[in-house]
Amino acid sequence: MQYGMFLQSSHPPGKPLSDSIDQDLEVIEWCDQLGYEEAWVGEHLTAAWEPIPACDLVLARAMERTERIKLCAGAYVLPLYHPAELAMRIAQMDNMLQDRFICGIAAGGTPTDMPLIDVDPQSGRNRDMMRESLEIMVKLWTEHVGPEFRYEGEFWTVNNPNPIWAVGPHIKPWHEPHPPLAMAGLSPNSDTIRYAGEHGYIPLSLTFNAMYLKSHWQSMEEGAASAGRTADRKDWRVVRDVVIAETDAEAKQWVRDSLMAEHWNVMNFPMLRAFNWVQYLKPDPSFPDEDVDVDYLIDHLWMVGSVETVTRRLVECYEELGGFGTLIVNKYDHGDTPEFYRRSLEMLVTEVGPAFEKAIAAG
């Protein structure tokens, strides 16, 4: 099992954006020091609780403050960009980070981001735009420095020019043929994850129940099989909410009093209830939706507690899903308790990790 961090990035509205980014950079530094393999930074244009609109600007700063951790776009929302501009931007990032870069892409699920560019988020058009954008970007990464061509799509037209005097196409990615690509799936039985399986991309699944997560791996395998591929569970990144303390009581109390709980109460619960998604938070489908709250998630979905409790829950999750390669910890603003939060991250890799490996080896 490898470990990573997903910086959504969660911060309370009204907190200065510079302070939020500084905290995220510090947490990425901690993860680098503690032996985490990856740090994924998200981006949204209109989410006050997840306020970063340009993930790669944060990655560029983190590059100078870390030594070994992979820095990952988590993810570029493709409908928000012209694919030619974004292809060159990603190629530059790939050259800057080299083997420390993973490029995550997504169709976008924030209900207020898509209307900003006049796209109905319920229409599925954003997913069609994502696929066309990615097709254009792959073509540019592999054919940009080459012959002139014209791409006419449903959403974008791209003209790859011949050189004129001393100007013309020159940028290639550092990776051949392009950086490793990951796709974040949102919906159950995700078409995006199926697409990742078809093309051999890394699947990234969000923090919902086992039924939801199993549907993602089924989609991944179906997509891979349709293209004559075999999906490898070691590539699967699974995002979970993890808080560890010396005792169960201490960990639970921190969550109840934290900005993590406030994020769920103010943003996540109202949005999930509006879309009838609370069902994907419940291991027991018969439990009433209206009774699902932070305490319920602490006791039934999240990995919150002592080293022993979190180890047991991680083993249960791993075995119920049939295995996965990387546990990605969902990061929340730690407020004025950085020491507690860093210690929680440390205990995951130094105490839970070895206990988990021992338990899996013992069968």
Whole-number pLDDT of residue 274:
94
Whole-number pLDDT of residue 121:
81
Domains and CATH numbers, the chain: 1-179 (3.20.20.30)
Please give the average pLDDT of every successive group of 10 residues along the chain, which has 363 residues.
97 98 98 98 96 97 98 96 98 98 93 91 91 98 95 98 93 97 90 95 95 96 98 98 98 98 97 95 95 98 98 98 98 98 98 98 92
* Beta pairing class for 2-7 and 38-41: parallel
* Residue of 171, 174, 148, 178 lying closest to 161 (CA atoms): 148
Whole-number pLDDT of residue 185:
84
Q: What is the largest CA-CA distance in the chain?
A: 69
Whole-number pLDDT of residue 208:
94
Sign of the Cα torsion 46, 51, 55, 57 reads positive
Whole-prediction pTM: 0.97
For 14, phi then psi, to 5°, come to 95, -20
> Tokens 């939706």 correspond to what residue?
289
For 301, phi then psi, to 5°, come to -125, -50
CB 131, CB 77: distance < 8 Å: no
Q: Give 161's DSSP letter.
A: P
Whole-number pLDDT of residue 122:
84
* Residue of 38, 71, 67 lying closest to 57 (CA atoms): 71
Please name the residues in contact with 168: beta carbons below 8 A apart, sequence gap of 6 or more: 161, 162
pLDDT (tens digit, 9 = 90+) per residue, 181-209?
A: 999 888 899 999 999 999 999 999 999 99
pLDDT (tens digit, 9 = 90+) per residue, 95-111?
A: 999 999 999 999 987 88
Whole-number pLDDT of residue 83:
98
> Tokens 């179906």 correspond to what residue?
222
Whole-number pLDDT of residue 204:
96
CB 67, CB 35: distance < 8 Å: no
Q: How far apart are CA 172 and CA 169, in angstroms?
A: 9
